[in-house]
Amino acid sequence: MSQLKIPNSLTGTVSSLYIHVPFCQSKCHYCDFYSISTADSRLLRLWHERVQVELQRLQREAESNGVTILPLKTIYYGGGTPSLLPFEFLSEELELCRQLFGLAEDAEITLEANPEQIKSEKIAADWLSIGFNRLSIGLQSASDHLLRVMGRRHSREDAFQAVTFAHQAGFRNISLDLISGLPDAHMSDIEDTLAFIAALPLTHLSCYALDVPSHTRFAEMLAADSGRFPDDRLEREMFHRIREVLIDRGFKHYEISNFALESFQSRHNTVYWRAEPYLAAGPAASSYLAGIRRSNPDSLLEWSKTVLEQGPFSAENITEIITEDEARRESILLGLRLLSGVNAGDFQQRHAIDYRHLFAAQIEKLSQAGLLDFDGETLRLTREGEDFCNIVFREFV
């Protein structure tokens, strides 16, 4: 792997950082993200110490790997359950990021949090005081019976309190996650969740269709009794209803699964959808830098060893070197997730080629099928294309 060459056309700068916190109090029944079900303080401290080493190595070794780190415009603490971390850890890590990389004045700094951990206004005020300015809270559903089916540790009331505390503490950018197509869910649950969130001071909502990865409790449930799971048609009806109501309430549907009030689109996630570079730290975290995708080991102890011995830029971490041809396909694939679409001029500037020629056959075929729309400048998914985006994406792989 050490012989691999970085493609020159993809070298560059980076100003986004993802930090993966691999701890949860228990495993939700639909989740296959890398996390350990523990809040053991020794493991949390091990992670905290190592992540600081990793951040230092990222800063020290970036330049020799073709990457210039600019003052960060976005930092995203995801997981796992970042809100499980002690306040001092978060504080020290953000301070270290400030010292190592610098922070843009208007940097978006997001903490993923579970409702049951925002137990007071003070907890949220503490996060705000060290620089977090965006909370992404995992609601998933406001129906208590569905929260139990998912193995979530919070109730509808906990979620209401959490958002209220966060807002009272001063958070002005609060996002909630929802899932459509949950087992035992009916349209009435969607209506109930929509009524519940109407009263909350939200700026952003992510709504994902349920995916059932193997090795989860839901996979066992699906195998045992698939009748509990809404079929695709009903799942789409649920999503359409959510979309209709959120748009009525002034949210813009800006990405296949995401809605935001004006100027509250997730800046960090938009980096992913625009196939722009980002740094990453923590077990199982993946970075995309200078045309190279690296993934840290999805094991706390292995990652910890790798951080000390090889460092974040090690050849062993490389999972993919993106050729220019792949980069062009990714720009279309990821860019189509954004409902503003892929502009031909932007694409030309980035890849020195006209996608109308490069992907003429795919565009023609998918337009005829009613899944893509091209207005002469921008290629977008149609409404039908949003529902069948996997068919669209397959054509560009």
Would you say 25 or 367 has its CB closer to ligand SF4? 25
Would you say 67 or 207 has its CB closer to ligand SF4? 207
Give the N- to C-terminal CA distance of the chain in Å, as an integer. Answer: 24
Query: Does 21 sit near ligand SF4 (CB under 6 A)?
Result: no
Site for ligand SF4 in 117-146 (CB under 6 A): 138
Strand 286-289, strand 292-295: pairing: antiparallel
E strand or H helix at 327:
helix 324-335
Ordered alpha helix ranges (H), 62-143: 87-101, 121-129
User: How many of the chain's residues bind ligand SF4 (CB under 6 A)?
Assistant: 11
Would you say 80 or 291 has its CB closer to ligand SF4? 80
The Cα–Cα gap between 157 and 299 comes to 34
Q: State the DSSP code for 325.
A: H
Would you say 151 or 311 has its CB closer to ligand SF4? 151
Q: Which stretch binds ligand SF4 (CB under 6 A): 40-48, 75-83, 197-205, 342-350?
A: 75-83
Would you say 80 or 283 has its CB closer to ligand SF4? 80
With CB under 6 A as the contact rule, the residue among 10, 14, 19, 31 that binds ligand SF4 is 31
Would you say 210 or 292 has its CB closer to ligand SF4? 210
The Cα–Cα gap between 291 and 9 comes to 8
With CB under 6 A as the contact rule, the residue among 77, 80, 83, 256 that binds ligand SF4 is 80
Query: Does 385 sit near ligand SF4 (CB under 6 A)?
Result: no
Q: Which stretch binds ligand SF4 (CB under 6 A): 12-20, 60-68, 78-86, 332-340?
A: 78-86
CA angle 391, 353, 62 (to 5 degrees): 90
For the bound state, the minimum distance from the C-beta of residue 175 to ligand SF4, rounded and expressed in Å, comes to 14
DSSP string, 144-196: HHHHHHHT-S--HHHHHHHHHHHHHHT---EEEEEEES-TT--HHHHHHHHHH
Spatial neighbors of 326 by CB under 8 A, at least 6 apart, are none
Nearest to 189 by CA among 219, 138, 148: 148
**Coil, helix or strand at residue 130:** coil
For the bound state, the minimum distance from the C-beta of residue 20 to ligand SF4, rounded and expressed in Å, comes to 10
Angle (deg, nearest 10), helices 87-101 and 41-61: 0
Q: Which stretch binds ligand SF4 (CB under 6 A): 74-82, 121-129, 293-301, 365-373?
A: 74-82
With CB under 6 A as the contact rule, the residue among 7, 9, 11, 27 that binds ligand SF4 is 27
Would you say 66 or 151 has its CB closer to ligand SF4? 151
With CB under 6 A as the contact rule, the residue among 15, 35, 266, 362 that binds ligand SF4 is 35
Would you say 32 or 184 has its CB closer to ligand SF4? 32
Q: Which stretch binds ligand SF4 (CB under 6 A): 25-33, 236-244, 273-281, 381-389?
A: 25-33
What are the structure tokens assigned to 127, written together? 């996060």
Query: Does 81 sit near ligand SF4 (CB under 6 A)?
Result: yes
Nearest to 276 by CA among 253, 252, 293: 293
Q: Which stretch binds ligand SF4 (CB under 6 A): 30-38, 190-198, 229-237, 280-288?
A: 30-38
Query: Does 228 sit near ligand SF4 (CB under 6 A)?
Result: no
Spatial neighbors of 33 by CB under 8 A, at least 6 apart, are 79, 80, 284
Q: Give a three-class secondary structure readout of 29-54.
A: CCCCCCCEECCCHHHHHHHHHHHHHH
Q: Which stretch binds ligand SF4 (CB under 6 A): 22-30, 99-107, 292-300, 315-323?
A: 22-30
Query: Does 33 sit near ligand SF4 (CB under 6 A)?
Result: yes
**Contact residues for ligand SF4 (CB under 6 A)?**
24, 27-28, 31, 33, 35, 79-81, 114, 138
